[in-house]
A and B are shown apart, each in its own frame.
Chain A
Amino acid sequence: MKIAVCIKRVPDSETRVKIAADGKSLDEAGGGVKFVLNPYDEFAVEEALRRKEKAGTGEVAVICLGPAAAQETIRTALAMGADRGVLLQTDKIPADPFETAKVIAAELKSTAWDLILFGRMAIDDYNTQVGSLVAELLGLPCVTAVSHLDIEGTKGVAEREIEGGIEVVDFPLPAVLTADKGLNEPRYPALKGIMAAKKKPLEVKPVQPGAGALEVVALTPPPDRKAGKIVGEGPGAVGELVRLLREEAKVL
């Protein structure tokens, strides 16, 4: 099994968001932002490792578009057990995911992968589409938000959550899949893995994504929710709560 996993370096969800002086981006330098491997990509890396382990042979390559510091993110995936990494290095990730997809597809094109895995979305920009766009660019079948996966030979069956149920989807390999929570339980890198990761190959390729057609106008804090009130304590406050929901909030 030859598997590519496309990963992203994102700010940890606990990070306090400080907006940069340009009013359009995250202040990464001054804000003390902690970066992590995108949580959905952890499911993708884990799935790739399990598939390779099951097949008994193969390769797991991780591919990441990002700044030089994303080498650390790639090392995290290598510490989990991936074999090699490729950093498509750019200082700025395009605001237009189609440009991101084009750069990643160009890198993937030259190799015959059995599977190409993504996380179903990145927790920073919520774009939820790069995997699908790459699949279209490569002409490969794609199943998104996979929460359960069976593969026999070149036939796959995936499950994906939809409103009020689960879709069971048949697809042929090679394919592009995007991983949802529930697919597996990602492993923590062991010390041995972390040491080994330092010696694994990590190729750095400078890239220049296009500007694209999505232009950031502003990044702003969300409007403050109107200051709430503590209606009271204990079951005695319920009458007043219901009155407020009816008369003030008008939701009952």
Chain B
Amino acid sequence: MTTLAVLEQRDGVLRKISHEVVTAAQRLGGGVEAVVCAAGAVQGADQAGKYGADKIVTLTNPAFAKYAPEACAQALADRAKQGGYRTIVFAASATGKDLAPRVAAKLGVAVAADITDLAADGGGVVVTRPVYAGKALLKVKVASQPAVLSLRPNVFTPVERPKAGAAETVAVTVPAGRVVVREIKAAPAGTLDVAEAQVIISGGRGLKEPANFKVLEELARAFGGQAAVGASRAVVDAGWRAHADQVGQTGKTVSPSLYIAVGISGAIQHLAGMRTSKVIVAINKDKDAPIFKVADYGVVGDLFEIVPKLTEEIRKLHG
């Protein structure tokens, strides 16, 4: 049975997280139909074929120029009903977290949300989801028709499995909706969101004062545009950094390839947001800090001596 993979676009450009959705969808076997809501053609949508989409459907409506929660949900629910898909896969991105439950409710089912693993199981799907601040994993059999899933970002590494990727465009008629995105206030150019970065350098109380985050920003720059600077709850609550940068239970959940925790002790609430990172490095002056228990590599000492040295070494590599 075909799986419907819901892609994401912003400003008419396919978002990279879409590749994760297609990759996860094709793991269920039985073919993948990718779908994206947009005002017109989506740049990069054809890429979905490379990751395993047999077919790529663009649902067009003028309302889809910006994210239109109600109209998108209606268009996708209509499509889902017509297609009789066994499974529908979303990304648990900011948009996916908003959209997936709307679509699911129209289909009379719930979302198995923020999953980190999935497998076909007889007529259903079995998924794994971190719960209790990441201190336990819940394995759930999803028997709903259809099964609606959302994927934790950065967990399902895109794998190329070229398929036909036959393109189809369908103009859809749906009400514009009552909830309207008026504008998007973009973050300053050149800043990468922690939720999307492959490398995150996070700072905590150990930085001593807000201005000292420039040490981390320099290290992030040394990674050549693929690193973001994150923050612990303590420094966000103190007003040193924006909430958008907070990693942890009341901030963002991240799974980058490399997470460098600098001057962060490692409270449970912080670990909840980053423990699924692939490689964790901790830099802290307290050798007994809990962060060293989850770190793959630790360096004990003064971050103001260690981080600049690390920046220098990384610069050499990225020359």
Q: Is the CB of A214 within 8 A of B183?
A: no
A20 to B166, CA, bound (A): 49
In the complex where A98-B110, A230-B300 touch, is A136 in contact with B268 (Cβ < 8 A)? Answer: no
Chain B residues with CB below 8 A from A56, complex form: none
Stretch at the interface among A47-55, A84-92, A193-201, A231-239: A231-239
Q: Is the CB of A238 within 8 A of B309?
A: yes
Is A241's beta carbon under 8 Å from chain B? Answer: yes
In the complex where A17-B132, A168-B184 touch, is A40 in contact with B178 (Cβ < 8 A)? Answer: no
Selected from A214, A234, A249, the residue in CB contact (under 8 A) with B279 is A249
A144 to B111, CA, bound (A): 15
In the complex where A181-B251, A228-B296, A242-B317 touch, is A144 in contact with B97 (Cβ < 8 A)? Answer: yes
Selected from A124, A219, A228, the residue in CB contact (under 8 A) with B280 is A228
In the complex where A145-B94, A162-B184, A217-B139 touch, is A239 in contact with B313 (Cβ < 8 A)? Answer: yes
Q: Is the CB of A133 within 8 A of B184?
A: no
Selected from B102, B180, B294, B314, the residue in CB contact (under 8 A) with A142 is B102
Q: Which residue of A lies closest to B257 (CB)?
A: A251
In the complex where A129-B110, A129-B111, A220-B137 touch, is A251 in contact with B279 (Cβ < 8 A)? Answer: yes
Within 8 A of A (CB), among B163-198: 177-187, 191-193, 195-196
Is B2's beta carbon under 8 Å from chain A? Answer: no
Stretch at the interface among A59-67, A108-116, A169-177: A169-177
Min CB gap A240→B, angstroms: 9
Min CB gap A223→B, angstroms: 8
Q: Is the CB of B143 within 8 A of A181?
A: no
The 8 A CB mask of A4-31 against B (1 = contact, 0 = none) is 0000000101111101000000100000
Q: Is the CB of A228 within 8 A of B195?
A: no
In the complex where A14-B268, A212-B110 touch, is A163 in contact with B93 (Cβ < 8 A)? Answer: yes
Q: Is the CB of A165 within 8 A of B132?
A: no
Q: Is the CB of A26 within 8 A of B132?
A: yes
The 8 A CB mask of A123-143 against B (1 = contact, 0 = none) is 111111100110111000111
A85 to B46, CA, bound (A): 53
Selected from A128, A132, A165, A216, the residue in CB contact (under 8 A) with B114 is A128
Is A153's beta carbon under 8 Å from chain B? Answer: no
Min CB gap B227→A, angstroms: 11
Chain B residues with CB below 8 A from A216, complex form: 138-140
Is B7's beta carbon under 8 Å from chain A? Answer: no
Selected from A181, A230, A234, the residue in CB contact (under 8 A) with B302 is A234
Selected from A98, A144, A162, A246, the residue in CB contact (under 8 A) with B104 is A98
In the complex where A213-B143, A238-B306 touch, is A245 in contact with B110 (Cβ < 8 A)? Answer: no
Stretch at the interface among B24-32, B123-131, B208-216: B123-131
Q: Is the CB of B297 within 8 A of A241?
A: yes
Chain B residues with CB below 8 A from A220, complex form: 136-137, 139
Q: Which residue of A lies closest to B259 (CB)?
A: A251
Chain A residues with CB below 8 A from B182, complex form: 157, 168-170
In the complex where A126-B114, A252-B314 touch, is A166 in contact with B298 (Cβ < 8 A)? Answer: no
Q: Is the CB of B143 within 8 A of A215?
A: yes
Chain B residues with CB below 8 A from A169, complex form: 179-182
Q: Which of B95, B132, B142, B199 has the most CB of A within 10 A?
A: B132
Q: Which of A95, A172, A213 has the most CB of B within 10 A?
A: A213
A99 to B104, CA, bound (A): 13
Q: Is the CB of B178 within 8 A of A181?
A: no
A181 to B126, CA, bound (A): 32
Min CB gap B25→A, angstroms: 19
Is B48's beta carbon under 8 Å from chain A? Answer: no
A99 to B131, CA, bound (A): 19
Min CB gap A142→B, angstroms: 7
Is A167's beta carbon under 8 Å from chain B? Answer: yes
Is A161's beta carbon under 8 Å from chain B? Answer: yes
Chain B residues with CB below 8 A from A39, complex form: 249-250
Chain A residues with CB below 8 A from B296, complex form: 225-226, 228-229, 249
In the complex where A214-B112, A232-B299, A245-B279 touch, is A126 in contact with B130 (Cβ < 8 A)? Answer: yes
21 residue pairs A–B, Cβ–Cβ below 8 Å: A13-B269, A97-B111, A129-B97, A129-B113, A133-B104, A136-B101, A165-B185, A166-B185, A166-B244, A169-B181, A170-B182, A172-B178, A181-B243, A212-B144, A214-B144, A215-B140, A216-B139, A218-B138, A242-B317, A251-B278, A252-B258
Chain B residues at the A interface, C-beta cutoff of 8 Å:
67, 69-70, 92-95, 97-98, 100-102, 104-106, 108-114, 126, 129-145, 177-187, 191-193, 195-196, 199, 243-244, 246, 249-251, 257-258, 268-269, 272, 275, 278-282, 287, 292-302, 305-306, 308-310, 313-314, 317
Since A214-B112, A249-B297 are in contact, a sample of 13 more A-B pairs with Cβ atoms closer than 8 Å, ordered by chain A residue number, is A101-B110, A141-B70, A160-B94, A170-B179, A213-B143, A213-B145, A217-B139, A218-B139, A219-B138, A221-B136, A225-B296, A233-B300, A234-B301
Chain A residues at the B interface, C-beta cutoff of 8 Å:
11, 13-17, 19, 26, 39-40, 95-99, 101, 123-129, 132-133, 135-137, 141-145, 147, 157, 159-172, 181-182, 212-222, 225-226, 228-235, 237-239, 241-242, 244-246, 249, 251-252
